[in-house]
Amino acid sequence: MAESLSSRRSTEKLSLGRFPQTNNRSATKPEVSAVHRVGASIALSNVVKRYGTFTAVSRLSLAIEAGEFVSFLGPSGSGKTTSLLMVAGFIIPTEGAILLGNQDITRLPPHRRNIGMVYQNYALFPHMTVFKNVAFPLRMRRLGKEAIRARVRQALELVQLQDMADRYPLQLSGGQQQRVALARALVFEPPLLLMDEPLGALDKKLREELQGEIKRIQRKIRSTVIYVTHDQDEALSMSDRVVVMKDGQIEQVGSPKELYETPRTRFVAGFLGSANFLDATLVSTGDISVARTEHGTVVKTSGRTQACVGSRVTLAVRPERVAVTLTQVPDNTGYQGRVVDANYFGTTQRYEIRLDNGEILLANRTNIGDPLIEPSSTVFASWRPEDVWIIPAAGNG
């Protein structure tokens, strides 16, 4: 199985060469086994980390497939970095187990886990040249001089820094330094790559450029990646799946589309983009449910719910799904109101609208050349039933 896997993929994957046979490697050296040549799956089961009475991570269970790109997204203090450091081995979980492939690594010291890691502050060794930095993990694995030279060259080509081998890290720009850190984390072909806000220290333009680059490299080498970030755009654009964390717990796991379009909780909806939240009471349920908000707005929704008629729910609708028009829409479903605030954001126009019954709505309109609607103008806000989803009362935490 392992044989066929590696031979099947050897044509597709980055050919960084092969490690020498590792039969009689001493037990204290990092393991380099055949199954780890491409990405490995990783599973966290009921992982808990407590510091005294404070619980940093509670009952975290998550299975990540080989080759998957998964982001941990959450505000600071949500436990995403703690979780990452437990996978890396720098923090030992209080309870639970972590499996890499089918090996239990919960208590394995970090230097024997064979996991690549990229840090926000790059953590390049200032006293070593770029070449020596990238060669470091190979030297720790006791590769021969020639093999090291060839692999370092290939890794530097991968991040397009082949001409910088003799520079010292401080002679490079931030973006270049992070590329070196990436090359250093990849050069030993780790089955798992951890990235802790790797682009956090870079400016927006460079960040977007490197996001693309990281994705390109990840597709090429098919390594499993766990990417910690607090930047929702980064998480949505790069990941196969996003894990939204809050207070040391997983709030929701799903593909970027699932999370954005059907968030299960108010927190997820608010953290990934913005949303209008309307507290309401269910009037009727069915293919199209009807709810009445506290301000008396009657809203139709095709969102599914288990809640029964008469129970309190939260309705959510994204600002970009709220259409703003100066005249009533043809089927008379628009809610009449006034513009309270209008802002110009280049690609969008953002409006705050106060409906006649007092309901406040945010609406975004793509800037396709229509003039900005002036504040205090009378407008109609409308949306389709499928643009509204229902968050049960339990999801309001």
Q: Which of 173, 211, 351 is nearest to 274 (CA)?
A: 351
Q: Judged by CB, which is closer to other proteins: 110, or 174?
A: 110
Q: Please, which residue, 127 or 257, has the CB nearer to other proteins?
A: 127
Closer to other proteins at the Cβ: 114 or 239?
A: 114
Q: How far is the CB of 28 from other proteins (least distance, A)?
A: 7
Least CB distance from residue 370 to other proteins, whole Å? Answer: 51
As measured in angstroms, the least distance from the Cβ of 26 to other proteins is 11
The answer to whether 34 touches 6, Cβ cutoff 8 Å, is yes
Q: How far is the CB of 227 from other proteins (least distance, A)?
A: 16
Residues that bind other proteins (CB under 8 A): 28-30, 88-90, 109-112, 114-117, 119, 121, 123, 125-127, 136-137, 140-141, 167-168, 170-171, 184-185, 188
Q: How far is the CB of 239 from other proteins (least distance, A)?
A: 22
Name the pairing type of β-strands 103-104 and 95-100: antiparallel
Closer of 93 and 263 to other proteins (Cβ)? 93
For residue 160, the minimal CB distance to other proteins (Å) is 20
Measured from the CB atom, the residue of 29 and 59 that comes closer to other proteins is 29
Q: Which is nearer to other proteins, 28 or 332 (CB)?
A: 28
User: Helix 174-186 to helix 204-221 angle, to the nearest 10 degrees?
Assistant: 20
CB 184 → other proteins: shortest distance, Å?
Answer: 7
Helices (H) and strands (E) in the chain, counts: 9, 20
Give how far Cα 109 sits from Cα of 27, 56, 115, 222, Å: 12, 21, 11, 25
Considering the complex, what minimum distance in angstroms separates the CB of residue 140 from other proteins? 4
Give the residue with the Cβ less far from other proteins, 87 or 362. 87
Instruction: Name which of 168 and 277 has its Cβ closer to other proteins.
Output: 168
**E-assigned strand segments in the chain:** 42-51, 54-64, 69-73, 95-100, 103-104, 115-118, 192-196, 224-229, 241-246, 249-254, 276-284, 289-293, 298-301, 312-317, 323-325, 335-344, 348-355, 360-366, 378-382, 388-391
Q: How far is the CB of 356 from other proteins (least distance, A)?
A: 57
Distance CA 140, CA 142 (A): 5
Which is nearer to other proteins, 14 or 183 (by Cβ)? 183
303-309 long-range contacts, Cβ below 8 Å, gap at least 24? 303/388, 303/389, 303/390, 304/390, 305/390, 305/392, 306/392, 307/282, 307/390, 307/392, 307/393, 308/282, 309/282, 309/283, 309/284, 309/285
Q: Which of 281, 228, 304 is nearest to 73 (CA)?
A: 228
Contacting residues for 167 by C-beta, under 8 A, at least 6 apart: 129, 130
Residues 209/215, Cβ–Cβ less than 8 Å: no
